[in-house]
Structure 1
Amino acid sequence: MSTLTALRSAPPARTGSPTVLLLHGYGSHEGDLAGLGPAVTDLPWASLRAPLALPHGGHAWFTITTPGSPDAAPVEQATAAVWAWVDAELGPDATVVPVGFSQGGLMATQLLRTRPERVAATVVLGGFVLGAPQPADATLAAIRPPAFWGRGAEDRVIAEHAVARTQEWLSAHTTLEARVYDGLAHGVHAAEVADVRAFLTRTLPAAD
């Protein structure tokens, strides 16, 4: 039985279609991104609650130590917990489209960097990548799967060194569609949602 909590849409009408996996940011919860599911695709979706309960409320995938440079071990533990949920609730052969915001954006890339054969496309919103090498990095550099990375030009939450690392890693390991949105801080707005939907429609023909 999975230990994570999730909100979910109805299951797909046909078997074999990927599930959009919504991964919220630090201090939030599974309801925060639930509206993104139907906004970006007609595929089934699931919005997960991160496993770490914070003392001031909300949840996190891992604790913040050095901003933009989290310790690898708790990130990898959270990654294993997400895959355990997917295996238990969607099936051991299920494919996913992780869509993550902030910390959840890092988690989206973690799913890609650990089991790329089960990730149909990756969407990172205001997020970043882990600095530590991950099991599938060499494979990803060879196959370059599709990824979308959107961020606000006015985002001051994600450290500059983390942004630079993310640009370098995504450019080297994915077929990257990157967007920087003028006037946007650490958040998501309508133009970005529309761009994500267009990206998924092009990448996953069954999405619409």
Structure 2
Amino acid sequence: MKESPTVLWSRPENERPGTPLLVIFHGYGADEADLFSLAEQLPAEFTVASVRAPLQAGPGYSWFPLRNDLGYSVTTVTESASAVELWIESVRTNHTSVSLLGFSQGMCMATTLMRHRPADYAAVVGLSGFVVEAEGDLYFDDAAVAAHKPELFWGRDQADPVIPAAAIESTNTWAHAHVKLTKVLYAGIMHGINAQEISHVGEFLQFKVLNAK
């Protein structure tokens, strides 16, 4: 990824300073426009930046390559996260806080960034996704995560046909040991998002970021 990825912003540049930032990561095969409409349904105080993933994948883009069994290389995950982190650092000083939201593969990105520098993010939202297996990679500072206990919202459908059961199980185990978890199940959304879930995300961001002591 280039240091300056393609980004859709919810505000013009002159209106961004002093606002909390919410960075959105789309899923596999989508692009930065895919989740951008969510910005209108979240607290208006946030500046939303929806980022395009670096790799071509079908009609859209991906954050890291997936094998046919949805397997992946941890190295490709951390390379992509490192590049996004450079961009976040370039805009961070304009904002009062930075939060992350990722859908599907985008949840891998959001949680990977949090696991690298947990104190840097006010809250993280993961929708219909999972956290990657660290496999001893030093990019993941899970000891710091467990000490800091960052806020994580995890929304999904138990009938999601895309995310493997083993990934859900390992995510659940990891989350309960490392973060302050808000976990909500939604029937009937499959591998998707509905209005109720976004309403809950908005409440979570309001309470955990905007109203945080």
TM-score by length of 2: 0.88
Over the residues paired in the alignment, what is the CA RMSD in angstroms? 2.2
What is the distance in 1 between the residues matched to 2:9 and 2:20?
13
| 2:29 match: secondary structure | coil
Q: Distance in 2 between matches of 1:117 and 1:94?
A: 14
- The CA deviation at 1:205 is 2.4
2-side partners of 1:161 and 1:68: how far apart? 11
Distance in 1 of aligned mates of 2:142 and 2:127: 21
1:65 touches 1:71 (CA, 8 Å); kept in 2?
no
Deviations 1:94-128 (A, max 9, x none): 74211000000111101101111211100000010
Give the aligned partner of residue 8 of structure 2. 7
Q: Percent of aligned pairs with the same residue?
A: 37
- Select between 183-192 and 68-77 the one with higher mean Cα deviation: 68-77
The question of 1:201 aligning with 2:202 is answered: no
> Is contact 1:18-1:120 (8 Å) kept?
no
CA distance in 2, matches of 1:85, 1:150: 27
Q: Which amino acid counterpart does residue 3 of structure 1 have in structure 2?
A: S
Q: TM-score, normalised on structure 1?
A: 0.90
Is 1:137 aligned to residue 172 of structure 2?
no
In the TM superposition, structure 1's runs of 4+ consecutive aligned residues that sit over 6 Å from their partners are none
Contact 1:87/1:93 (8 A) holds in 2:
no
Question: Tell me, which stretches of 5 or more residues in structure 1 are unaligned?
Answer: none
Task: Give the CA deviation at 1:153.
Answer: 2.3
2:23 paired residue number: 21
Match runs of 1:97-108 below 5 Å:
97-108=99-110
Q: Write the distance in 2 (CA, Å) between the matches of 1:202 and 1:181.
A: 21
Residue 56 of structure 2: aligned partner: 53
Structure 2 distance, partners of 1:187, 1:178, is: 16
Using the TM superposition, give the Cα deviation of residue 18 of structure 1 relative to its aligned residue in structure 2, in angstroms.
Answer: 2.9
1:186 corresponding residue in structure 2? 191
The worse-fitting range, judged by mean Cα deviation, of 76-85 and 135-144 is: 135-144
CA distance in 1, matches of 2:21, 2:14: 8
